[in-house]
Structure 1
Amino acid sequence: MGSPAEQVYSRRLRPRSSHATKNAGEDESIALLAHEITDGVFVTVDGKAALSALVELGPGRVISPFDCWRWLRDRGFIDANDCRALDDRTSKHLCLVGPPQRLD
């Protein structure tokens, strides 16, 4: 009955709407990361989606946008100025004073 990713999506993440995240796309992403994109990480700031992803994917595969910006910077995909700009835009969008202190 479908691929392993489809089974995770329909049987574990969305069996009842009360247990699902608010966004079907988040659940689809988690299911794909669990079985199809096994070296990928889930990037979110949504608490319920983060918890669902942590349960399905395990530690180290769920990160914040701020962690993502540093990953991109550390690998040379963006420079420090771009990282700061992304931090500022993300912080403003989320109504935060800045990135988490753990990233200083």
Structure 2
Amino acid sequence: MFAIYHIAVYFDVKPGRVDEFIAASHLDGRESNANEPGTLRFELIADENIPNRFYLNEGYESLEAFNTHAAGPYFKQFFDTIVPLVEGGEPTWLIRGNRVEDPSV
């Protein structure tokens, strides 16, 4: 019934720091996808109405796979890099949970 653990967060990036934030996000996504078997999806999305707001939409095989990612080197490197680039230094959480599958499909 449940499949894929999802998280979605957003960051408001400081003016003039967008390119650095995008580069750090893409590096985290590439390395996580390549080296963490439980990482299924890592998307960076720019808000269409709020300048400098970026969303991370991520999918993992399970909560345990997300926790492995969060304890890993790419996650740490990402936050070490982006803390001075974003307002408040922390993400705003939008969702955390498992996708509910339609059993009839």
TM-score, structure 1 as length reference:
0.30
Q: Which has the higher strand share?
A: 2
Q: Which has the higher helix share?
A: 1
Larger radius of gyration: 1
Larger RCO, structure (CA 8 Å, separation 6 or more)? 2
TM-score, structure 2 as length reference:
0.29
